Chain A
Amino acid sequence: DTEVTQTPKHLVMGMTNKKSLKCEQHMGHRAMYWYKQKAKKPPELMFVYSYEKLSINESVPSRFSPECPNSSLLNLHLHALQPEDSALYLCASKGQTNNEQFFGPGTRLTVL
């Protein structure tokens, strides 16, 4: 299995809702990433988990809460989001011996 999966593919939520994005990989990678990508912009790093521990937080607002319950799973919990948080959220993973990051297909989030 050489892919990163993300669910859901699309998500529409209100500003008072609580939702979660899920990312999964079974390549044995121990580094996992969340990126945010606005339309016509490059992806921007949000969080990095290394060996299931948060190693990088790019000053992301607390309404985004990452979680890495095990080495294959990465979640992003969303609460009280703003319309400007609408974007494509991409998950990626990286192995220990090769530096290339493998990306999932993304979750397109719309906040109303």
Chain B
Amino acid sequence: SQELEQSPQSLIVQEGKNLTINCTSSKTLYGLYWYKQKYGEGLIFLMMLQKGGEEKSHEKITAKLDEKKQQSSLHITASQPSHAGIYLCGADMAGTASKLTFGTGTRLQVTL
């Protein structure tokens, strides 16, 4: 089974709607990273969370790490077509910050 599960696997939302993507780990997360990827391209760093209960926001995207540090959520407010892509959570599960394990990914489509 996957160490880092994301849900949902895919999401289609109408422009202007809010959405949430979840990332759940079977182990304690020493660091949780959110990335966005356009098909066939590199990963764009969005946010990094390290402390339990931490929450960060950038423009219309907010990410949280729960107190137990085993689950993170990414929330997009008033979605736009530019938000479309694949969202990946990456986790440092060893506490070394040397190795990232990636989640299964969430494919987001935003319709007009």
Question: In the complex, which of the residues B40, B101, B104 contacts A88, with contact meaning CB atoms closer than 8 Å?
Answer: B40
Whether the Cβ atoms of A105 and B41 lie closer than 8 Å is: yes
Interface size on B, residues (CB 8 A): 23
Known: A31-B98, A50-B98, A100-B33. A42 touches B42 (CB 8 A): no
Whether the Cβ atoms of B98 and A55 lie closer than 8 Å is: yes
**Docked complex Cα distance between A48 and B94 (Å):** 15
The residue among A48, A92, A100, A102 with the most chain B CB atoms within 10 A of its own CB is A100
Which residues does chain B contribute within 8 Å of A42, judged by CB atoms?
Answer: 88, 102-105
Number of cross-chain contacts by CB at 8 Å:
54
A80-105 CB mask vs B (1 if < 8 Å, else 0) is 00000000101010100001111111
Whether the Cβ atoms of A99 and B88 lie closer than 8 Å is: no
Whether the Cβ atoms of A56 and B48 lie closer than 8 Å is: no
Whether the Cβ atoms of A45 and B100 lie closer than 8 Å is: yes
A40 to chain B, nearest CB (A): 8
Whether the Cβ atoms of B41 and A106 lie closer than 8 Å is: yes
Which residues does chain B contribute within 8 Å of A108, judged by CB atoms?
Answer: 40
Which residues does chain B contribute within 8 Å of A102, judged by CB atoms?
Answer: 45
**Docked complex Cα distance between A41 and B48 (Å):** 21
B18-50 CB mask vs A (1 if < 8 Å, else 0) is 000000000000010101000011111100101
Tell me if B99 is interfacial: C-beta within 8 Å of chain A: yes
Q: CB-nearest residue of chain A relative to B50?
A: A99
B99 to chain A, nearest CB (A): 6
B91 to chain A, nearest CB (A): 11
Which residues does chain A contribute within 8 Å of B92, judged by CB atoms?
Answer: 99
Tell me if A43 is interfacial: C-beta within 8 Å of chain B: yes
- List 3 tightest A-B contacts by C-beta distance, closest first: A42-B102, A103-B43, A105-B42
Chain A positions near chain B (C-beta within 8 angstroms)? 4, 6, 31, 40-45, 48, 50, 55-56, 88, 90, 92, 94, 99-106, 108
30 A-B Cβ contacts within 8 A? Answer: A4-B42, A6-B42, A40-B105, A41-B105, A42-B88, A42-B103, A42-B105, A43-B43, A43-B88, A43-B102, A44-B102, A45-B99, A48-B99, A50-B98, A55-B98, A56-B99, A88-B40, A90-B42, A92-B43, A99-B33, A99-B48, A100-B48, A101-B33, A101-B90, A101-B100, A103-B43, A104-B42, A106-B40, A106-B41, A108-B40
